[in-house]
């Protein structure tokens, strides 16, 4: 997506009516290695340039390990979306993938103007009615796998295989791609 298109999306997001309490939520969904984090960062910069407060939350920080995709949403709801919906700050501790537990300092998300919720399943049916934009980023499977292994190491090949299967099952059951309001090819250089 060209820079001007990201700027235009940011403008639409900032002008949109909030749907989660006073918060404008943008989901940046798609499979692992597709480019979701990169796109979310670009969008956050563009939203901030429009003068809006913005927070980016990565769903990887709220997962309880590799097998939690089907069961994580109640945690996202209780720790993040529920408080923000009620006008309260959200607080959570990020998952430490090395230690295998939620640890480290508490992170706080104020009920600001825009929340970019980045990660697999962020645009799921349970939250779609509260999104101001639902972005799906995708890339060919070989590109995605190569990116993740280069970033995180070859030792993750087996957990990634299981994760990819859970992603496919979730996307098929949830209709995630089809429900996106914007689809982005994450394998194209801008």
Q: Look up the domain containing 112 and give its range.
A: 3-185
Is residue 176 assigned to a domain?
yes
Q: How far is CA 164 from the centre of its chain?
A: 16
- Closest Cα partner for 71 from 23, 21, 124, 107? 124
Please give the model's pTM, rounded to 2 decimal places. 0.94
Q: What was the pLDDT predicted at 190?
A: 43
Average pLDDT over residues 5-29: 97
- Closest Cα partner for 33 from 167, 158, 131? 167
Average pLDDT over residues 175-179: 94
CB under 8 Å, gap of 24 or more: what pairs does 47-52 form? 47/10, 47/13, 47/14, 47/114, 47/116, 49/7, 49/10, 50/10, 50/11, 50/14, 51/14, 52/13, 52/14, 52/24, 52/112, 52/113, 52/114
Q: What was the pLDDT predicted at 188?
A: 66
Q: What was the pLDDT predicted at 187?
A: 77
Is residue 190 assigned to a domain?
no
Is residue 81 assigned to a domain?
yes
Q: What was the pLDDT predicted at 112?
A: 80
CA distance 81 to 109: 10
Q: How confident is the model at residue 3 (pLDDT cuts 50, 70, 90)?
A: confident
User: What are 129-174's pLDDT values in tens digits?
Assistant: 999 999 999 999 899 989 989 988 888 888 888 999 999 999 999 9
Is residue 103 assigned to a domain?
yes
Q: For the chain, what is the domain count?
A: 1
Is residue 59 assigned to a domain?
yes
Is 189 a residue whose pLDDT tops 70? Answer: no
Phi, psi of 102 (to 5 degrees): -75, 125
Query: Any idea what the CATH number is for the domain that residue 29 is in?
Result: 3.40.50.300
Token representation of residue 179: 């429900």
Is residue 65 assigned to a domain?
yes
User: What are 31-88's pLDDT values in tens digits?
Assistant: 999 999 999 999 999 999 999 999 999 999 999 999 999 999 999 999 999 999 999 9
Task: Give me the residues paired with residue 116 across strands.
Answer: 26, 56
Give the count of beta carbons closer than 10 Å to the beta carbon of residue 142: 10
Q: What was the pLDDT predicted at 168?
A: 94
Is residue 172 assigned to a domain?
yes
Is residue 155 assigned to a domain?
yes
Q: What was the pLDDT predicted at 4?
A: 86
């Amino acid at each position: 997506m060209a820079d001007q298109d990201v700027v235009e999306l940011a403008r639409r997001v900032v002008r949109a009516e909030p749907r989660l309490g006073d918060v404008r939520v943008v989901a940046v969904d798609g499979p692992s290695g597709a480019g979701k984090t990169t796109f979310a960062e670009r969008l956050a910069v563009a939203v901030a340039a429009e003068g809006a407060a913005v927070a980016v939350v990565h769903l990887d920080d709220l997962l309880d390990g590799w097998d939690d995709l089907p069961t994580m949403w109640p945690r996202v709801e209780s720790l993040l979306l529920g408080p923000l919906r009620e006008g309260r700050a959200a607080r959570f501790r990020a998952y430490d993938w090395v230690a295998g537990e939620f640890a480290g300092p508490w992170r706080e998300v104020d009920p600001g103007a825009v929340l970019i919720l980045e990660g697999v399943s962020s645009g799921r049916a349970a939250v779609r009615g509260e999104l101001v934009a639902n972005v799906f980023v995708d890339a060919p499977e070989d590109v995605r796998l190569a990116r993740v292994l280069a970033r995180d190491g070859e030792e993750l090949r087996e957990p990634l295989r299981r994760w990819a299967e859970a992603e496919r099952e979730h996307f098929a059951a949830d209709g995630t791609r089809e429900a996106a309001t914007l689809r982005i090819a994450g394998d194209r250089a801008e």
